[in-house]
Amino acid sequence: MYTMQNNCRCGAVGDMENKIRIRFELTDLNGYNYISESTTEVFPDMGETELTVIGEQLNTFLKQCSYTRKNDYIFMEDITEEEYDALTDYLHELRKD
């Protein structure tokens, strides 16, 4: 089971305006529980979004938990169902090699 919480945003208090708190929790099949919680800043002027920062943090967390994955990154982007289907088809074709 894995849960992600991004519901504790710091309000517009001084330099806290662009900070978010992220928490990941993973319990593996052996019952080991891994938790990571961090407060980090999002830099929109540098092209970052909350979603990209969460994605980077998620990738780091899964590596720290020794979560076996075929590739290095999990793609996190806000897409429509139609775009999801198109990307899935494209990745399937790309990975056939």
Residue 8 has pLDDT above 70, yes or no: no
Number of domains comprising the chain: 1
Domain extent for 75: 2-94
Q: Which of 7, 59, 2 shows the shortest CA–CA distance to 32?
A: 2
The model's pTM is 0.62
Q: What is the mean pLDDT of residues 53-67?
A: 87
DSSP secondary structure of 36-65: EEEEEE--GGGT--HHHHHHHHHHHHHHHT
Higher pLDDT, 50 or 73: 50
Residue 60 has pLDDT above 50, yes or no: yes
